[in-house]
Amino acid sequence: MAPSIDPSALSLHNTLRRAVAPLTLREPGKVTVYWCGPTTYDVAHVGHARSAIAFDLLVRVLRSAGLEVKSVRNVTDVDDKILARAKEAGEEPTALSARMAALYQEDMTALGCEAPSIEPRVSQHIPQILALVESLVAKGAAYVVQGEHADDGKDVYFRVRAFAGYGKLSGRKLDELESGARIEVDARKEDPLDFALWKGCAKDGWGWDSPWGRGRPGWHIECSAMSAEYLGHGMDIHGGGMDLIFPHHENEIAQSEAAHPGEGDFASCWMHNGFVNVDREKMSKSLGNFVTVRDVLARNDPEALRLFLVSHHYRGPVGFDVEKLDGGRVVFPAIDEAERKVDYLYTTLSRIDAMTVAATPGELGGEYAKANKELDALRKEAFDALADDLNAARTVAALYRVAAVVNEMVDLHARKKGDRPAIARVIGKGSHLLREIAEVLGVLRTPARRYRERSRERRLRVLGLDGEKIQAMVQARTDARAAKDWAKADAIRGELTALGVEIYDGPSGTSWEVKI
């Protein structure tokens, strides 16, 4: 089967070059991707989901172009935040981190993110980290100093000024950085800009034995060591949130390229996703303005959150609104709107599934030719947009339009007018296209019937409604209609509407749905 996207047409924004440019690969037909995963000291919030979904979309697009993808997403399970949270909880740090990592993976799976090829953890790669630090010390790119206390293990710092390319990713100049760094002066450092590769700790502290005594790795060294372990020096794409450009990714470049002088760039292309903002401020744990993924999924379908996030260009900001209703109930208006759109798409699939339609070859004329051509144009638009720096907002718009064309044809087919076999062929083609686009976006992942079932169950729970009582009211309305007691039937319908339940009368009987 031919790829949905021409690989030669793929262009991505490269932070290092500050421009969108065609994707170039080190090995034809194969692409290596590394992106920074979570620091697992708490559950994931919507900002974490935005980054995970952005790079999941990237991998899906690369595969849609027929490329073989090797993807790595790290788990930072060694960090001062983890140590502090573990002390508060009275839990062993790696046990806390493992528990949070499992919750993160559950949340991302629920949001349709496929597991990366490899998901390394810092605690399982201490030998590789130590080897890299030793290499940097041997090359003169790093130096060892006594720890903060006499009995502590020693610290190892990277010599920033020894790396001529420092600042090339972020565009920052050393003299500008130095003026800001003087706020935190450490007399043990040769230069205020130098950063820790290894941090010594007490002999009985949380850490590992090293050539410099007991300690644990600095934040930046982990990604350099783990990416080299699985992808070698140099990769096609490295990514993460925009907040990681400096200092994390800048420091990764410095230490990796210093360890491999003359071997080229650490990464060919650097990609960074934008922030999720609440009241124009970045959603973050430190600001306390975060909404967890689990908060959203308690009220909304996971596909609604995913559709909302992919409907924005990955590099731009996303505003996330939170509204408190009377009674204290919290809602997310934009996610509610996205869920209504998911409802529409699944309703379209339900209508197709009820028809036993199959796409067959054949020329189409008249008004059917117009619909057929529109589907062809929409397919091109959808995949051209993804090839153009993952512009999924345009792809989502094309997806809705495909659904609209299909629904128009289903209506025409149901009226039993015109050339019904020709109409069926258009529906079959539209059905295939709808699923093809949804697959690369990571939505419409479940049978339509199951989606309706899980949506009804969750909405009844959120609204505090009893499904059996609702069904009894619907049956009472049906009985009233059979008895031609229209006033009673209308009254029951009004009661149901007030509860958020909508009634649908059709040839096969009456059905009901709980609206978000």
CATH of the domain at 179: 3.40.50.620
Last residue of a domain, one of 426, 441, 456: 441
Q: How many domains does the chain have?
A: 3
Does residue 135 form part of some domain? yes
Written as six digits, the tokens of 315 are 């590099």
**Is 1 in a helix, a strand, or coil?**
coil
Q: Which domain holds residue 491?
A: 465-514
Does residue 213 form part of some domain? yes
* 219 closest CA partner among 190, 248, 185: 248
Q: Quick count: other Cβ atoms within 10 Å of Cβ 103? A: 17
State the pLDDT at residue 32: 98
Identify whether residues 290 and 389 lie together within a single domain: no
State the pLDDT at residue 175: 83
Identify whether residues 437 and 474 lie together within a single domain: no
Q: What are phi and psi of 377, to 5 degrees?
A: -65, -40
Written as six digits, the tokens of 264 are 């080229």
Identify whether residues 246 and 280 lie together within a single domain: yes
Last residue of a domain, one of 267, 297, 327: 297
DSSP 229-240: HHH-S-EEEEEE
Instruction: Catalogue the E-assigned strands of 263-305.
Output: 267-273, 276-278, 281-282
| Mean pLDDT per 10-residue section of the chain, whose length is 516 residues | 86 98 96 97 97 98 98 97 95 96 98 98 98 98 91 95 95 80 72 96 93 96 98 96 97 98 96 94 82 96 98 97 85 96 97 73 69 94 98 98 95 80 89 97 96 96 95 95 95 95 87 92
Torsion of CA 404, 410, 415, 416, to 10 degrees: 140
Identify whether residues 21 and 65 lie together within a single domain: yes
**Is 423 in a helix, a strand, or coil?**
helix
Identify whether residues 469 and 433 lie together within a single domain: no
Does residue 316 form part of some domain? no
Residues 6+ apart with CB under 8 A from 209: none
How are strands ordered across the β-sheet holding 276-278?
A: 281-282, 276-278, 318-319
Does residue 175 form part of some domain? yes
Does residue 1 form part of some domain? no
Tell me the C-alpha distance between 161 and 175, whole Å.
Answer: 11
Identify whether residues 172 and 232 lie together within a single domain: yes
State the pLDDT at residue 414: 83
| Total residues belonging to the chain | 516
Q: Is the peptide bond before 22 cis (omega within 30 degrees of 0)?
A: no
Q: What is the DSSP letter of 268?
A: E
Identify whether residues 220 and 287 lie together within a single domain: yes
Does residue 308 form part of some domain? no
Identify whether residues 149 and 63 lie together within a single domain: yes
Q: What are phi and psi of 5, to 5 degrees?
A: -125, 135
State the pLDDT at residue 359: 53
| Sign of CA pseudo-dihedral 445, 446, 452, 458 | negative
Does residue 303 form part of some domain? no
Tokens 């200092």 label which residue? Answer: 247
Identify whether residues 154 and 272 lie together within a single domain: yes
Identify whether residues 482 and 433 lie together within a single domain: no
Written as six digits, the tokens of 301 are 């379908």
Identify whether residues 369 and 508 lie together within a single domain: no
The angle at the Cα of 138, spanning 135 to 139, to the nearest 5 degrees, equals: 85
Last residue of a domain, one of 381, 409, 441: 441
State the pLDDT at residue 413: 85
Does residue 460 form part of some domain? no
* 218 closest CA partner among 248, 240, 242: 248
Identify whether residues 189 and 249 lie together within a single domain: yes
